[in-house]
Amino acid sequence: MNNRKVSSKEQSEKDLTMHEAFINLNTVPTHVMAWGKWIEEDLSNEKLIILFIPGNPGLLGFYKAFLDTVYEQLGGKVPVWTVGHGGHEIPNSTLRPIPIFQSNKDLYDLNAQVNHKASFIRKYVPKDTKIIIMGHSIGAYICVELLNEPDIESKIQKSYLLFPTLEHMADTPQGKFLNKFVRYFVSILVFLTWCFITFLPSVVQTFLIKAYLFLTRSPVSFINEAKSFLKPNVVRNVLFMVMDEMEKVNDRNDTCIEKNLNKLKLYYGQTDHWAPPSYYYRIKEKHPTINAELCNFEHAFVMRNSEEVGKIVVGWIQEDFNI
């Protein structure tokens, strides 16, 4: 699908460097953002790209300020791409609906999302182009799983894992909450979302979303992302994936981690309820030489600290690659 769209003239100059579109990937319309060269342009002269894999929900707009910062701080020298999770964003066009959940659950679980990202790399990253891969939360888990693929592992030069959910998610404070309460109300939450967008006028929806963002001290600028999330199909796919994570993210993949120690950088949070500090100390005990550290940012760093974390990541890249 060659339907790339460019940011409008009214947006800031930095936004003009970002292109976005929905592509068809593993039969699912998938949101992609690219800073620098677009994924379908001639990349023969690009020896390195940065690929970012989001957490869950995989709505790319939440990460825009972070990736803006990474691209700008690197002086636009390296293309920066991010690919969303299948089923977490729906294109506005009704001509390309996402596959029906009930008969296509295998397109939306955790394994499918790993395969989804592997397919993207194999299709769009040229043979001789190397990758710096970054992942947030469950995106970090996906990064580690991609290192298990020999043809992809050989392309990855470095993997920066931000607030990584690599093990025993069901045992974390957030995991316990989801398993005890949210798991039993998924259908109700999907129904309430349907009621919200069906019966409330758009102006009321906007008011309530803005009020929620204000009360939770979240940027009001995320209103479009909140609206994208509040769709029954999206809510169902997001919750289906997170429940699948509770079941599948158990023992840490120490074999893969040990094999790729020189490629990994892990960034844990002191107050993280998805990847608590105890998991940081646990991985350091198992792999004493691993490059990992604790910080004071929250797990959902994009809510308040996108630029700060972006500059930190750029510092790592500049140190590792002399860019």
Higher pLDDT, 59 or 181: 59
Which residues, including other chains, have CB under 8 Å from residue 145's CB and lie 6 or more apart? Answer: 114, 253, 256
Strand partners, 132: 50, 158
- Locate 16 and state its tokens: 């003009």
Q: Which of 19, 85, 88, 137 is catalytic?
A: 137
pLDDT confidence of residue 259: 97
Report whether pLDDT(225) > 60. Answer: yes
Q: Which of 68, 109, 244, 272 is catalytic?
A: 272
Catalytic residue list contains 137: yes
pLDDT confidence of residue 1: 42
pLDDT confidence of residue 93: 67
Output the average pLDDT for the chain: 91
Strand partners, 29: 24
Q: What pLDDT, in 10s, does the model give residues 16-56?
A: 589 999 999 999 999 999 999 999 999 988 999 999 999 99
pLDDT confidence of residue 163: 98
* Architecture of the structural domain at 5-169+249-321: 3-Layer(aba) Sandwich (3.40)
Amino acid (1-letter code) at residue 146: L
Catalytic residue list contains 42: no
pTM: predicted TM-score of the whole model, two decimal places: 0.91
Q: What pLDDT, in 10s, does the model give residues 104-117?
A: 999 999 999 999 99
CA distance 180 to 225: 27
Provide mean pLDDT across the span 149-171: 97
Instruction: Give one DSSP letter per residue of 209-261, joined into a string.
Output: HHHHHHHTT--GGGHHHHHHH-SHHHHHHHHHHHHHHHHH--S--HHHHHHTG
